[in-house]
């Protein structure tokens, strides 16, 4: 997944697409044989691109999801049957706290590469209207797909051909990682532990700071690691956007407090 270039991301195409209704307070999911994508491919491609911002995991050897997708890739099972099996597994692991929605199963290609996407979309009630002459008739719609970030509850983008069978995951139940439910369903584990990720983060920020030494105050350029730890400790979970907002805000504060010199670029 790390080798997916911007060009490859823009070239993503959906080859296989289907969804099934899950967590609707019944013993079994509602399964379909076909859900034509029609003209809505760009909508779902955008949801998949959102997933690329997620956290990286790898499949455990005992992962049922990995085994089922491998069976599909080898031609041992067809797409629809595999999707139904995944929906049953996903539905069985749920409980009454889970909102009704759909499990979307997608096969993707970009160039010669193939990927798989599993998305849990929650059903959200929205109010629409239709017009009859000069009258507006309100209608409640529950079964829908919206662009709301809250609706896309869980999403996994899977690369079976990568070295570690890499999985990129977004799980709204665990903002910086993965919920126990989704972890059990997918059968995944962290690609790297917290210590390794912290070391990589510090290295990346140090490299960026070195590139812009002339534009940064000494308090930042001389104490990068300390500043990263200080900011990280203030938040329970690590999130990229929030971390860099805090980091850049601290830089801006130091810049405003430091008197200008001939060597300082405002």
pLDDT in tens, 158-184: 999 887 778 999 998 876 678 889 999
225 vs 43, residue with greater confidence: 43
Instruction: Please state the length of the chain.
Output: 266
Structure token digits, residue 166: 């890499």
The pTM score is 0.72
Share of the chain above pLDDT 70, in %: 72
Closest CA to 153 of 59, 57, 22: 22
Specify whether the CB–CB gap between 44 and 17 falls below 8 A: yes
Q: Give pLDDT, residue 191.
A: 66
Q: Enumerate the H helices of the chain as residue ranges.
A: 6-10, 41-51, 64-73, 79-93, 180-186, 194-211, 218-221, 224-233, 240-257
In Å, how far from its chain's centre is CA 183? 14
Q: What's the CA gap between 264 and 266, in Å, rounded? A: 6
**Sorting pLDDT into bands at 50, 70 and 90, what band is 34?**
very high
Q: What's the CA gap between 120 and 250, in Å, rounded? A: 37
């Amino acid at each position: 997944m790390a080798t997916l270039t911007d060009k490859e991301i823009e070239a993503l195409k959906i080859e296989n697409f289907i969804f099934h209704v899950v967590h609707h307070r019944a013993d079994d999911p509602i399964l379909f044989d076909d859900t034509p994508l029609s003209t809505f491919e760009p909508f779902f491609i955008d949801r998949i691109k959102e997933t690329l911002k997620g956290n990286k995991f790898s499949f455990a050897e005992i992962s049922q999801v990995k085994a089922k997708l491998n069976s599909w890739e080898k031609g041992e099972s067809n797409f629809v049957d595999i999707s139904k099996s995944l929906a049953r597994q996903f539905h069985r692991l749920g409980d009454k706290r889970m909102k009704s929605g759909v499990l979307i199963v997608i096969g993707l290609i970009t160039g010669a590469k193939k990927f798989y996407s599993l998305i849990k979309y929650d059903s959200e009630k929205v109010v629409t209207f239709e017009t009859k002459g000069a009258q507006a008739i309100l209608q409640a719609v529950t079964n829908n797909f919206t662009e709301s970030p809250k609706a896309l509850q869980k999403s996994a983008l899977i690369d079976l051909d990568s070295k570690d069978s890499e999985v990129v995951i977004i799980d709204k139940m665990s903002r910086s990682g993965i919920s126990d439910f989704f972890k059990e369903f997918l059968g995944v584990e962290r690609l790297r532990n917290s210590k390794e990720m912290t070391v990589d983060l510090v290295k990346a920020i140090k490299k960026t700071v070195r590139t812009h030494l002339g534009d940064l105050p000494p308090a930042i350029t001389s104490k990068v690691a300390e500043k990263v730890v200080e900011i990280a400790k203030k938040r329970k979970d690590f999130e990229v956007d929030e971390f860099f907002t805090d980091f850049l805000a601290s830089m801006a504060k130091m810049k405003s407090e430091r008197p200008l010199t001939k060597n300082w670029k405002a």
